Amino acid sequence: QRGMAVTAGPRSSELYARACRLMPAGVNSPVRAFASVGGEPIFYDRASGCRFTDADGREFIDYVGSWGPLILGHAHPAVIEAVTISAADGTSFGAPCAREIELAELVVDTVPFLEMVRFVSSGTEAVMSAVRLARGVTGRDAIVKFTGCYHGHADYLLVAAGSGLATFGTPSSAGVPESSAGHTLLLPLDDEAAFRRLMTKHGDEIAAVIIEGIPANNGLLPQSESFVDVLRTECTRHGAMLIFDEVITGFRLGPDGAAGHYGIEPDLVTYGKIIGGGMPVGAYGGKRAHMERLAPLGPVYQAGTLSGNPVAMAAGAAALRTLLADGGSTWDRLETLGARLETGLREVFTKHDHQWSVVRRGSILWLALQDGPAPVTAEDIDTGAAERYAGLHAALLERGVYLAPSAYEVIFVSAAHDEAVIDQTVAAFDEAVAEVFG
Ligand SMILES: *Cc1c(COP(=O)(O)O)cnc(C)c1O
C-alpha cells in the first residue's frame, strides 16, 4: 500500500491553517477534519448537482452530499427558489407561520403511522426530544441502544458497551457523567436472544428502545426482518416505546423510510438531514396521544428559538415535494443508480481479486474492505479495513472522486448523479484499486 497522497490544494491548505487558529481542528464537526484518512481537509467553495468545486478550483464528484441531506444534489433549483423566496419574507419569526404547516402536512400525509410532528433544528435535537417524550409518556428512565448506532451527541447516547453482553453503558466521550450513561443499556445488533433476555429482565423499566432505521453511521449494517420484528413485539409486550431513528433513512429509502422497508410501525420516529433539504431541520413524531404530551399541552418540555424556521421549512418542503412528484419516481431512479454503482464496484473488486463487500440499500452504499461475509454488527467490522480505506480515499481524491473521509461512513448517491458519472466513478475505482493494492 502506497503512502498518503497530499489531498488539499494550496488555497485549501491556507484556509485550513487559518481555520485551525480559530476553531478546534479547523472544523465544526469532527469527521470533516480528515483525521481518520490522513491529509488535510478539502475546503468546498461551491457546489451544484453531484459536483463541488474546491477552494483551489478543482472539481470533484461528491458522494457525501452533506452527509445525507442532499438527496436531490447540491443547489437543486426547487430548493434554491424556495429558500430565496422565503428568505425575502423574513428569515425567522419565532411565531407560527404557514410554512411550518406545509412541511408538517407533507410529512404527516406521506408517512402512514404519523399523526403529528414537531420540528427542531437538528437530528440530535430530534432524538433527544423523542427520548424525553418516551420517558415522559412511560414514566421510566432506562433506554436501550445498539452498539454501532449513532443517534447524535446527547450525553446518554454517547455510550460504549462495558464488558458482558447486556450492560449499562459507560461514557464514550469525556464530559459525559457516568450517571447519564448509566440509564442507557447497550446491546449488539442482530442478537435476538440477547435482546429477549434483556427485555425479560429489565423490560418493565425501559422507556424506549432506539435503533437506526438501517444502521448507517458505522458502516451500513442492515438488520434482518426477524430482528426488527422482535424489537417491535418485545417493546409492545413490555410497554416500552420503539423509536426508529430515521435521520438518515427517512425519505432516503422511500416515502416511508426504513419503517416502510420493514413494514413495522415504530411508536416514535425521528428525522433530520433530508427533511430540511440542506437547511438545519430535525423532526420527531408519532401518534397524537403521545405527541400531545408535549408542552404546552402536556408535561414534557421541549422548545426552540429557531424551531420551524420559515426558510428551513420552505427548503424541506421543496425537497419533499420534488421527491414525491411524479409518483415518487425519484426513488426508483436512485435505486437504478445505486444498483449501477454497486455492480460496478463489485466488478472492480472481483477483477482485482479482492473478496471485499459492497453493501447497499437504495442509494446508500458502504464498502466493507474485508474478506468474508459483509458485517451485520459493529463487532464484525475488521479494523484493518480502515487502513485500506484511507489509501483508496486518497487515490480517489486524486481522480476527482470525493468519498467521506472515514471508512465507517457510507456513500450517498443523489438524484443529480447519472449513469455517466457513475461509470466515471467506477473507472476511477478501477485505477485507484490497482494503484493502491496492485
Ligand atoms: C446524523 C444523525 C443524527 C444526528 O443528526 P445531527 O443533525 O447531526 O444532529 C442522529 N441520528 C442519525 C441516525 C444520524 O444519521
Give residue 3's pLDDT: 44
| Per-residue DSSP letter, 220 | -
Give residue 6's pLDDT: 62
Give residue 239's pLDDT: 98
CA angle 428, 434, 437 (to 5 degrees): 125
The answer to whether 220 and 359 are in contact (CB under 8 A) is yes
Beta-strand ranges (E) seen in 227-363 are 241-245, 268-271, 282-286, 357-361
Q: In what side-by-side order are the strands of the sheet with 364-368?
A: 357-361, 364-368, 411-412
C-alpha cell at 159: 455510550
Torsion on CA atoms 102, 105, 108, 112, rounded to nearest 10: -130
Supply the residue whose CA is at minimum distance from atom 11 of ligand 1. 151
Ligand 1 centroid – CA 381 distance (Å): 21
Catalytic residue among 54, 62, 191, 245: 245
Ligand 1 centroid – CA 271 distance (Å): 8
Give residue 79's pLDDT: 98
Residue of 217, 218, 253, 271 to test ligand 1 pocket, by largest number of atoms within 8 Å of CB:
217
pLDDT < 70 positions in the chain: 1-6, 162-167
Residue 287 annotated in active site: no
**Residue 297, exposed/middle/buried by CB under 10 A (0-12, 13-18, 19+)?**
exposed
The closest-lying atom of ligand 1 relative to the alpha carbon of residue 213 is: 13
- Within 8 A by CB and 6+ apart from 63, the residues are 401, 402, 403, 404, 411, 412, 413, 425
Catalytic residue among 16, 150, 156, 284: 150
The answer to whether 282 and 130 are in contact (CB under 8 A) is no
Q: Give the residue carrying C-alpha cell 427520548.
A: 131
CA 227 to chain centre: 21
Ligand 1 centroid – CA 422 distance (Å): 27
Give residue 219's pLDDT: 96
352 phi-psi bin (left φ>0, alpha ψ -120 to 50, beta other): alpha
Residue of 125, 127, 212 to test ligand 1 pocket, by largest number of atoms within 8 Å of CB:
127
**Residue 182, exposed/middle/buried by CB under 10 A (0-12, 13-18, 19+)?**
middle
Supply the residue whose CA is at minimum distance from atom 14 of ligand 1. 247
Give residue 167's pLDDT: 66
Coil vs helix vs strand at 132: helix
The answer to whether 119 and 100 are in contact (CB under 8 A) is yes
Ligand 1 centroid – CA 31 distance (Å): 13
Residue 351 annotated in active site: no
Cβ-based neighbour number of residue 145 at 10 Å: 25
Catalytic residue among 273, 284, 402, 430: 273
Protein residues with CB under 6 Å of any ligand 1 atom: 122-124, 127, 150-152, 212, 217, 245, 247-248, 272, 282
For residue 126, give the nearest of 291, 308, 272, 277 by alpha carbon. Answer: 272
